[in-house]
Amino acid sequence: MSNFAIQADKMRLTIVGPQFFSYVDAVVSHLSGLGIPVQGIDERGAQSFFMKAVFRSSLLRKIFYILVRKRHQLIVRKVADFRSNHVLFISPESVNKSLIKSLRAMGVKVSLYMWDSFDNKPAARDCLLDFDNAASFDPLDAKIHQLPLINLFAEDEFFSNGNGNYLRKIDLSFVGTAHSSRPQVITSLVVNPRFASLAKKIHLYRGNAYYYFRARLLTWFSVSTPLSNDSISKTEVAEIFKNSKYILDVTHVDQRGLTSRSFEALAAGGVLVTNNRWSKEILPSFSARIIIFSDIDSLDIDKLEWSERIDSNLDFLTLQRFCSELLRLIQQ
């Protein structure tokens, strides 16, 4: 890895990452506000089920090699047109040595940040040593590969700022897509009589047809699985969380890092209820507002004794802190 640095006032940055929940857009917007010329590029270029399948599968990337290569060539052209001197890949699915080589041949410094695990995105791990520098949100990946650990963030609209006007009429809320084990966990929550008395707000977004049928199969076509085909805005999610006492997050398989949903829950002033066993180690100063469960049946509802809390270290949850750490990584 090279050891040259780019000063922020001379940086022209391209971020190549996934286009979901507009998290990359939020990073681009914040860095632009700091006066850094920055553009965001969707790695896949389309959100169709076919394109997702091709870019996520190592086998399909080989079969549809020409399709992936054309997208990589377009990324290189956009980087050149923007006159970028740095490219940051965020959890890339299709990155390879050829793409990194093409960028570095133009004198571009290339960095990597993972907000997924290498187990879920092995393409990035395969060319880890080809990046100028790298960091991860996953504590185990960071330890194994000796990478800086950079935790995720919550955007400004999620912060309650100790506002006592929120009545918090929702005892337990969940908002998320129907991937991983979430359909089973949410179904267990809904059918368990121990949770019947809780005021719940569940939005399990089914997304495309694949997620829908997968969720149905995993729950044995249970009529109690509350799948929704309606997407809700980030502002709506923030209002749900700011009016929730306890906020449930179900982590992705083979993922140890804390999701943005976890940071949003804490920023909103709620108690995070998560199956991520690393959560208290990652956020020790928030451990009093984190409940860890192994499965829904093991969740002790007697622990759900709510009291309003105001944290003194909310800055750690912010997008500003996250972007500052990203910039330090880039300028190494």
Residues 110 and 211 reside in one and the same domain: no
Residues 23 and 167 reside in one and the same domain: no
Residues 12 and 94 reside in one and the same domain: yes
Per-residue pLDDT of the chain (332 residues; tens, 9 = 90+): 333 344 556 889 999 998 877 899 999 999 999 999 999 999 998 878 888 888 888 888 899 889 999 999 999 999 999 999 999 999 999 999 999 999 999 999 999 999 999 999 999 999 999 999 999 999 999 999 999 999 999 999 999 765 556 788 999 999 998 878 888 888 999 899 988 999 999 999 887 777 777 777 777 778 788 888 888 999 999 999 999 999 999 988 778 999 999 999 999 999 999 999 999 999 998 988 899 988 888 887 766 666 666 666 889 999 999 999 999 999 88
Q: Is 327 among the domain residues? A: no
Residues 129 and 168 reside in one and the same domain: no
Residues 126 and 186 reside in one and the same domain: no
Q: Which amino acid does the sequence have at 239?
A: E
Q: How many Å apart are CA 189 and CA 179, to the nearest integer? A: 16
Task: State the CATH number of the domain containing residue 308.
Answer: 3.40.50.2000
Give me the sign of the Cα torsion angle 66, 72, 74, 80: negative
CA distances to 5, 128, 180, 276 from 250, in Å: 38, 28, 9, 7
Task: State the CATH number of the domain containing residue 107.
Answer: 3.40.50.2300
Place of tokens 């999620």: 158
Long-range contacts of 219-226 (CB under 8 A, 24+ apart): 219/183, 219/184, 219/187, 222/187, 222/191, 224/187, 224/190, 224/191, 225/183, 225/186, 225/187, 225/190, 226/186, 226/190, 226/202
Which structural domain, as residue segments, surrounds residue 144? Answer: 8-150
Residue pair 114/124 in contact (Cβ under 8 Å)? The answer is yes
Question: Which of the listed residues 91, 115, 150 is the one where a domain comes to its end?
Answer: 150
Residue pair 68/52 in contact (Cβ under 8 Å)? The answer is no
Structural domain count, the chain:
2
CB atoms near residue 295 (< 10 Å): 11
What tokens does 35 get?
């006066």
Question: Which of the listed residues 120, 150, 180 is the one where a domain comes to its end?
Answer: 150
Q: Is 331 among the domain residues? A: no
Residues 117 and 258 reside in one and the same domain: no
Residue pair 117/139 in contact (Cβ under 8 Å)? The answer is no
